[in-house]
Amino acid sequence: MKAVYITEPGKVEIKEIPAPVRKKGEALLRVLRVGICGSDLGSYRGTFAYFDYPRIPGHEFSAEIVEIDDNEYGFRPGMIVTADPYFNCGKCYSCEHGHVNACMDNKTMGCQMDGALCEYITMPVERLIDGKGLSPEILAAIEPMCIGYHGMKRAKIQKGDNLLIFGGGTIGVMAGITAKAMGANVYISDILPEKLKHDVESFGFAGSICNDSPEALLEGVERITGSRVVNGKKVLNGFDVTAEAVGLPSTFQNAIDAVAFGGRVALIGVSKKKLDFDFTQIQKKEIDIYGSRNAMKEDFEELVDAVVSGKIDLSKVISKIYPFDEAAEAFSAFSSSHDMLKVLISL
């Protein structure tokens, strides 16, 4: 079969490799659509922390079941599914306590193990997620939506919360869409005004802050949340919740600065870089900081139901679909684009 490899930063190749052989307890899947996510772009650019070369990327996908044994879940050949792509060890402290998404030896498809950007894959049956009639395109967008959704659940989003998300890219927007469905007033921040305008108009967010300078950020936070004078000094009210979905030390610092006293911060972005900052802010503001890694199987199932019911609309998230033999062009175009949210590759 054919498979796409990222062989080194900036280089994508299609190779012929042996087709997988299904084992007991597994399903053989014919891959239909694969999304290029932020971690895939980071791997392509050489900036992602969890990637070894060469590697088949891809953990956002939809597929058709080709072969499967009788099973307790009701899966059968011909069904269109997606899957939980985060393989946990089952033996570490995190797994033993039910935090399988934070497994100490996690292996995510397309990162620490080969992914789905090939013609066929095998998958343990218990990891399959019923697509419930969703199109292959929409189903391939469920996994990235789960990343933002899980982060918003971790941050305990409540109806009426004022939320500021740093990062107008795919994960930031998807976090915003799910938080909006939870009842939050969602604001988005980025350094590109045109991206912010598109995100607000397309997804119905409450507003935006162009974060192209420290002054612009503080002005935006005051404009939206207000301020008051405390002991003769102006203090910003801040947002109930902030979320970092970029993966930069500066935007994590921004999330700390923009959150209210007693507020909550969700860290979704991944970075290789370090941050030296005044950690007393955490104590002074009594901030709750939530790291958010991957997602849980229940997140997939809940989001599929939310999309099927019409509570969440993913149709505007998909920017472009490339054929399989143009995978290298897809990575290159997505990497240099400022307005694409979700790029899919069709097999």
Angle at 209 between CA 204 and CA 210, to 5 degrees: 120
Taking 80 as the threshold, does the pLDDT of residue 272 lie above it? no
CB neighbourhood size of 201 (10 A)? 9
User: CA-CA distance, 82 to 31, in Å (whole number)?
Assistant: 9
Q: What is the pLDDT of residues 282-327, one digit of tens each?
A: 999 999 999 999 999 999 999 999 999 999 999 999 999 999 999 9
Mean pLDDT of all residues in 93-113: 95
Q: What is the pLDDT of residues 217-227, one digit of tens each?
A: 999 999 999 99
Q: What is the pLDDT of residues 125-137, one digit of tens each?
A: 999 999 999 999 9
Burial class (CB in 10 A: 0-12, 13-18, 19+), 194: exposed
Q: Please, which residues have CB within 8 angstroms of residue 231's CB and are 6 or more apart in sequence?
A: none
Per-residue confidence at 338, pLDDT binned at 50, 70, 90? confident
Mean pLDDT of all residues in 152-156: 97
User: CA-CA distance, 337 to 345, in Å (whole number)?
Assistant: 16
Q: What percent of the chain is predicted at pLDDT more than 70?
A: 100
Q: Please, which residues have CB within 8 angstroms of residue 297's CB and are 6 or more apart in sequence?
A: 84, 127, 129
Mean pLDDT of all residues in 11-18: 97
Q: 50 vs 340, which has greater pLDDT?
A: 340
**Per-residue pLDDT, 258:** 97
Helix (H, G, I), strand (E, B) or coil at 33: strand
User: CA-CA distance, 252 to 41, in Å (whole number)?
Assistant: 20
Q: What is the pLDDT of residues 246-269, one digit of tens each?
A: 999 999 999 999 999 999 999 999
What are the DSSP E strand ranges found in the chain?
2-8, 11-16, 26-36, 60-67, 80-83, 86-87, 107-108, 120-124, 128-130, 162-166, 185-190, 207-210, 227-230, 233-236, 239-244, 259-267, 288-291, 318-323, 342-346
User: CA-CA distance, 14 to 325, in Å (whole number)?
Assistant: 8
Mean pLDDT of all residues in 159-181: 96
Max intra-chain CA distance, the chain: 71
Helix (H, G, I), strand (E, B) or coil at 343: strand
**Per-residue pLDDT, 47:** 79
Q: What is the pLDDT of residues 185-218, one digit of tens each?
A: 999 999 999 999 999 999 999 999 999 999 999 9
**Per-residue pLDDT, 337:** 87
User: CA-CA distance, 302 to 67, in Å (whole number)?
Assistant: 26
Mean pLDDT of all residues in 95-112: 95
Mean pLDDT lowest among 148-152, 165-169, 239-243, 334-338: 334-338
Taking 80 as the threshold, does the pLDDT of residue 169 lie above it? yes
Quote the pTM value.
0.93
What domains lie within the chain, and their CATH numbers? 2-141+317-346 (3.90.180.10), 149-291 (3.40.50.720)
Exposure string for 16-32, b = 16+ CB within 10 A, e = fewer: eeeebebeeebbbbebb
**Per-residue pLDDT, 280:** 94
Per-residue confidence at 39, pLDDT binned at 50, 70, 90? confident
Please report, for residues 4, 9, 120, the alpha-carbon distance to residue 288 in angstroms, rounded to integers and kept in the order given: 41, 36, 43
